[in-house]
Amino acid sequence: MFPPNPNNQRQDNQPDGSGEPPRPQFQPPRWIWVVLILTLLMWTLLRLPDMVGGVLTDQPIEVSYSFFIDQVEAGNVSEVTLRESIARGQFNSTVTFPPNGSPLLDQGVQQRTSSAFTTTLLPVEDPELVPLLNEQGVTVVGQTTEVNPILLFLFNWGPLLLLVGFIFWSTRRVQRQAGGIFGFGRTQAREYDMERPQVTFTDVAGQAAAKNELVEIVDFLKEPDKYIALGARIPRGVLLIGPPGTGKTLLARAVAGEAKVPFFSIAASEFVEMFVGVGASRVRDLFNKAKAGAPAIIFIDEIDAVGRQRGAGLGGGNVEREQTLNQMLSEMDGFDQTESVIVMAATNRPDVLDPALLRPGRFDRQVTVALPDRTGRQDILGVHVRGKPLDTDVDLESVAKVTVGFSGADIANLANEAALTAARRNRKRITASDFSEAFERIVLGTQAPPLSNEHERRVTAYHEAGHALTAALTPGTDPVYKVTIVPRGQAGGVTAFQPEDDRRLYSREYLLGRMVVGLGGRAAEEVAIGEITSGASSDLQMVTSTARRMVSQLGMSDALGPLNYGDDERQPFLGYSLSQGRNYSEETAAKIDAEVRRMVEEAHQQAVALLRDNREKLDALAQDLLENEVVERDRVLEIVGIQRETPSFEASQNEHGH
């Protein structure tokens, strides 16, 4: 099988924001906590004198009234403080409680000594108490209960204040909710101020051509008067086109960082809501904010979410999306020549955009942000290994050579995976083996436990040996890097290849040879096992797709000639091809099918013939796989009988898996 190519999948390091945000939980307002803390603090301050007094002096023990009178008559009381129904005082000397078996008010208290006491006065007035105290020479102090004004205010007005505060908080909460409803049409764009740390062109590597295209935009934002004085009109819109992960958003941020202007960033999907007219309102609000902060940059990521062709597909288009697009078109047309607002957008599907967006006066400049070449990949690696301690055996040029087809995001992921691998192994530096393992993890998938079924192991070994042997014996194909029958990702086994260099043009001989290699696994099963399995399902899909494109789109068929029949299977609009119809007859369609079948069958017969003529080599390679589970490039070439120098750390993202 051919496992899915990871370079055709977007690899972002940021969390997916497409999910619905969690509902906010109820939290009490801050002023409630403030009131509670202040109340506790005031209570503590009011109780502090009593608490300190209890600590610094003898702890008084409550005694009965009769015991108190007995001590006064005995002349053992020196001072008494009368306070409503409580009497507190001091004895002339320390007294043991309870003396002579006299009971205490608290029966559970153990006998102890103290010079302080407290007692409860009789509920009726005792006219003999004060004369008795004066007769015994006891110092009498009268004390009235003083109510703290703060506590009195809190007791009297506290509940009312709490009620008023709760009503005020509830009213504000309702107003905020209502404001959210009425602000439904406001823009969701995130504004990055010029004073914040900005990305510059020095942080963008591997895209020299794209940066050169954007230098003029930066110069205009810095000095717009120079262009306006000459009557020049700067492009109002710049469309960044390129595969996912090539750095389109990073380039837009770098333009804002170089020009030192506000940067409004929003995803196109944030314009569209279920209510018609909301997206258009958000577009108006976004452009009004940008004009108020001009010179400024508006960046719209994945603009194809809102800028698709109007009326395409079955049943027309989405009304809300089309109104949003119409508003965007009118806003871009409404730019004055003196307005220093530039709209930048990014997409990896320029073929689905509405033609009105791409006409001069709107997105009149298109910048291609392609996959980096070898030099660009090396520069990007240099950016992403900053701050990472590398061992002396790490050669960034070799890593850049083998990462053919990697985008900037892929290379950033490779450097991060290498650092994680080194950390798992408790290393202080990142070595070349860490990069190699990280590369294989990304390209081939995570290694799974070996196959336990002996028959499946044997079938897989011959299948992968068939891929490797046909690749080594077919001229013009990519050389083999590694063969393994250890499951990686969704594949039961993998044959990895290493291209010689970046390839932009594919010859007919190369594509035919790739078809032979793709069918090598199926042919090996027929030759060595005597039966076919489902392991070649993705191989057959790849080979059939390659043959059909060669016949119908690339003009590489002798039977049909150099014609393109325009049957684009990647058309994204539902029912669009049905409404347009095919531009060729049924007879031509039958010829295309017959030619595709002929090319696939010829590649299959060639693969079978190669393996039958080299059966000993096929058996030797399969046996080596069964014994060692992994066969490197040197061993494959040794079995085939080809001598070739093996560079260090070479691999490929083009692989065949069983």
Greatest extent of the chain over all pairs of C-alpha atoms, in Å: 139
Tokens 């050669």 sit at which residue? 395
88: phi then psi, degrees, rounded to nearest 5: -120, 150
Among residues 477, 449, 530, the alpha carbon closest in space to that of 636 is found at: 477
The catalytic site residues sit at 464
For residues 438 and 445, what is the distance between their CA atoms, to the nearest angstrom?
10
Among residues 73, 81, 86, 78, the alpha carbon closest in space to that of 121 is found at: 86
For residues 282 and 264, what is the distance between their CA atoms, to the nearest angstrom?
13
With beta carbons less than 8 A apart as the criterion, state whether 6 and 410 touch.
yes
Spatial neighbors of 251 by CB under 8 A, at least 6 apart, are 204, 207, 210, 211, 214, 240, 367, 369
Provide the 3-class DSSP secondary structure of residue 246.
Answer: coil
- Rounded to the nearest 10 degrees, the angle between the axes of helix 586-613 and helix 537-552 is 130
CA distances from 462 to 148, 526, 544 (A): 95, 10, 22
582: phi then psi, degrees, rounded to nearest 5: -85, 150
Q: Where are the alpha helices (DSSP H) in 57-189?
A: 65-73, 129-135, 149-182
What count of other Cβ atoms lies within 10 Å of the Cβ of residue 547? 25
CA angle 506, 511, 514 (to 5 degrees): 125
What count of other Cβ atoms lies within 10 Å of the Cβ of residue 528? 20
CA distances from 163 to 31, 166, 317, 480 (A): 13, 5, 54, 79
Spatial neighbors of 597 by CB under 8 A, at least 6 apart, are none
* Identity at 102, one-letter amino acid code: S
